[in-house]
Structure 1
Amino acid sequence: MAQPTVVLATASYDHTIRFWEAENGRCFRTIQYPESQVNRLELTPDKRYIAAAGNPHIRLFDINSNSPQPVMSYDSHTNNVMAVGFQCDGKWMYSGSEDGTVKIWDLRAPGCQREYESRAAVNTVILHPNQTELISGDQNGNIRVWDLTANSCSCELVPEVDTAVRSLTVMWDGSLVVAANNRGTCYVWRLLRGTQTMTNFEPLHKLQAHDGYILKCALSPEMCEPNRYLATASSDNTVKIWNVDGFTLENTLVGHQRWVWDCLFSTDGLFVVTASSDTTARLWSLADGEEVKVYKGHQKAIVCCALNDGNGLSS
């Protein structure tokens, strides 16, 4: 059977990764992941592989294969891996863990190439679009910028002392960085004109987005332009969509029955995908905030998802 054109991947505390035909909701492949839960899923830039961040390892699976075995395993973390992502050409991978480290990996080799010490459990790591800076957020409330060229920490921000930074997101053009924390607050920084590095940011906005934890925040992709949105997923069972121009509330996505752990935009910027403790993932229309599709099949909380949608979904 031919591979579906739009694939949604979800991972759950039931120790499985499921692959769905996003447009009709059919689950067509399940990978057993017995060693641990999966904390994060991320596709390689060429969409050929998917990385599953577990405890304490990262496994890389071939998306187009039916093999249940990973093609590569990365094994030098010593605790939950909470963040994973890729350089834009797929030459290397980065990760962040509750062991307090941020690591860089050559995808073709099993060993870790570089390691940075955050001195607290790392919850989130993102790669700036300039491809030369990693930004990490940890359990103690620290945000650190790791300059990969200088191989050192170039900047530290502490928006709220001892308040865990749960999620970081950066605008596709590098102009904004948002940090979301355990108190439901988003902090926004703006890149100063004419600069290309995180050391030249200024505080732009503080948004009290939710009363509960924010578990994930995501900025809209380039195809959304000229509209720019921020999505925030929370322990209050909702996802909120904010217009970045003034940070006004555009929509509240209501339907999940329990915590919403993950949210992401489709490539075309027309849809949002969410993953929840209520054992479902959902597809929402960004235009009206209405639920389009529910993905059911997991037995326990779904905590992360990834979407391979090429040029976007059709409605």
Structure 2
Amino acid sequence: MAASASSDMTCAIYNLDDFTCKVVLRGHKMGLSDVCWSSDSKYVCTVSDDTTIRIWDVGLGELLKTFRGHNHFVTCASYNPQSNLVASGCFDETVRLWDVRTGNCLKTLPAHSDPVTSVTFSMDGTLIATGSYDGLCRIWDTSTGQCLKTLMDDTSPAISHVQFTPNAKYLLASRMDDKIKLWDYSVSKCAKTYQGHVNKRYCLIGTIGYSEDRKKNWIVSGSEDHYIYFWDIETRQVISTTLAHDGVVLAVDCNVEKQLLASCSLDNTVKIWSYNYE
């Protein structure tokens, strides 16, 4: 399945077998900024400008829980791999860690000096990465809430999105200066920089795509010029571009097993693409 969050206050769930809309989740009072899946794909978490985080049963199409505690627009969220925790980022510059079962806020991190744009867990759930309009990426210890690393360079433009690589050795950071950086955060050093797309105004979401055997991988991102860009992760070269939408391509995500790519845009569409760059 695929999920999309919208400023129309809904979250739509799509079946990737027949590309139909399975269910539309309604209940938020303002527009949605993000949606994330539990590891077993039974639940989604949505966040909204109405300051709430909500957990939904996808199969039943029902609201299960509502988390309250943020006092401004909630911008992003992520399940940990065990799906017993949700981390949320907010315009109030904090990150909150929630117990999914009880709905209790376990920790509040004074994460940044500007709104938080992105939050994500490492593959084993021991680390949390955050990005912000303040231009910083930070790495946190999940259990203690301690900030372990702050990543920045001389320019430090606003961060659009952050994502750990599967081996958790690097952090991919999309930035609002037309660049995506791959950080070796253990030594606070930028290992690679990817350029060619346009990202100056919107928080675009890039990701890592894989061949079916996972022997080859790419950086994939939308762009404000309406294209989707693919880069070779090692050489940093643009290996493919696709004119994808009639508006800014806000986010992309990959389904490795089906070799599918989802994209969403300000043109109010979600598109599913087949890709294979063997």
| 2:67 is the alignment partner of 1:120 | no
- What residue in structure 2 maps to residue 214 of structure 1? 159
Q: Deviations over 1:5-28 (max 9, x none)?
A: xxxxxxxxxxxxxxxxxxxxxxxx
| 2:194 is the alignment partner of 1:253 | yes
TM superposition shift of 1:202: 2.4
| 2:241 is the alignment partner of 1:289 | no
TM superposition shift of 1:175: 2.6
| 2:8 is the alignment partner of 1:63 | no
Q: Deviations over 1:18-45 (max 9, x none)?
A: xxxxxxxxxxxxxxxxxxxxxxxxxxxx
- What residue in structure 1 maps to residue 271 of structure 2? none
Provide the TM-score with structure 1 as the length reference: 0.75
TM superposition shift of 1:82: 1.2
- What residue in structure 2 maps to residue 45 of structure 1? none
TM superposition shift of 1:95: 0.9
Whole-angstrom CA distance in 2 between matches of 1:119 and 1:274: 31
Whole-angstrom CA distance in 2 between matches of 1:159 and 1:257: 27
- What percentage of residue pairs aligned between the two structures are identical? 19
| 2:30 is the alignment partner of 1:79 | yes
Q: Is the 8 A contact 1:262 1:276 kept in 2?
A: no
Q: Is the 8 A contact 1:263 1:273 kept in 2?
A: yes
Give the total of aligned pairs.
253
- What residue in structure 1 maps to residue 45 of structure 2? 94
Q: Is the 8 A contact 2:197 2:223 kept in 1?
A: yes
Whole-angstrom CA distance in 2 between matches of 1:83 and 1:156: 19
Whole-angstrom CA distance in 2 between matches of 1:96 and 1:253: 29
Whole-angstrom CA distance in 1 between matches of 2:177 and 2:146: 30
- What residue in structure 2 maps to residue 168 of structure 1? 119
| 2:177 is the alignment partner of 1:236 | yes
Structure 1 SS opposite 2:204: strand
Structure 1 counterpart of 2:96, from 140, 144, 157: 144
Whole-angstrom CA distance in 1 between matches of 2:199 and 2:67: 35
Q: Is the 8 A contact 2:52 2:66 kept in 1?
A: yes
| 2:252 is the alignment partner of 1:305 | yes
TM superposition shift of 1:66: 5.1
Distance 1:186 1:258, change over 3 A: closer
Distance 1:245 1:297, change over 3 A: same
Whole-angstrom CA distance in 2 between matches of 1:273 and 1:285: 9
Whole-angstrom CA distance in 1 between matches of 2:238 and 2:13: 31
Structure 2 counterpart of 1:203, from 124, 128, 147: 147
Whole-angstrom CA distance in 2 between matches of 1:296 and 1:274: 12
- What residue in structure 2 maps to residue 24 of structure 1? none
Q: Is the 8 A contact 1:154 1:199 kept in 2?
A: no
Whole-angstrom CA distance in 2 between matches of 1:66 and 1:174: 31
Q: Deviations over 1:68-122 (max 9, x none)?
A: xx22010001222111111111221111111111000011223311001122111
Whole-angstrom CA distance in 1 between matches of 2:97 and 2:186: 25
TM superposition shift of 1:137: 0.4
Provide the TM-score with structure 2 as the length reference: 0.85
TM superposition shift of 1:201: 3.7
Whole-angstrom CA distance in 1 between matches of 2:32 and 2:170: 28
Where structure 2 has 5 or more consecutive residues not aligned to the other structure, the ranges are 260-275
Q: Is the 8 A contact 1:256 1:276 kept in 2?
A: yes
Distance 1:248 1:101, change over 3 A: same
Larger RCO, structure (CA 8 Å, separation 6 or more): 1
Whole-angstrom CA distance in 2 between matches of 1:275 and 1:262: 7
